[in-house]
Amino acid sequence: DEKEKFEPTVFRDTIVQGLNEAGNDLEAIAKFLDAAGSRLDYRRYADTLFDILVAGSMLAPGGTRIDDNDKTKMTNHCVFFADEDHDAIRNYAQVCKG
């Protein structure tokens, strides 16, 4: 049996690029995540996906982002950058729940 390589940074880059290309349209983001789920291994990279959807990038132990302020490795389409009101947070939760 050949083992698959564990490459969370490649996964992060793919997800972040798709989220950024979707723009501010939560419906487009949901469609991207749904379509990407058929070719990306969400189970294998669940922690990375959660980090991106909540904080906008991968997190190191202790909770610091590990994107080196490289805009291609982070997205503003996440819970941390959402408007601070109930409806906005609920909409992001619906996207994440998908």
For residue 65, give the 3-state DSSP assignment.
Answer: strand
Pairwise CA distance, residues 55 & 77, whole Å: 9
> What is the chain's pLDDT, residue by residue, as a tens digit (98 residues)?
566 788 999 999 999 999 999 988 889 999 999 999 989 999 999 999 999 999 999 999 988 888 888 889 999 988 888 888 998 888 888 877 66
pLDDT of residue 31: 93
pLDDT of residue 16: 95
pLDDT of residue 6: 86
How buried is 36 (Cβ within 10 angstroms: 0-12 exposed, 13-18 middle, 19+ buried)? Answer: middle
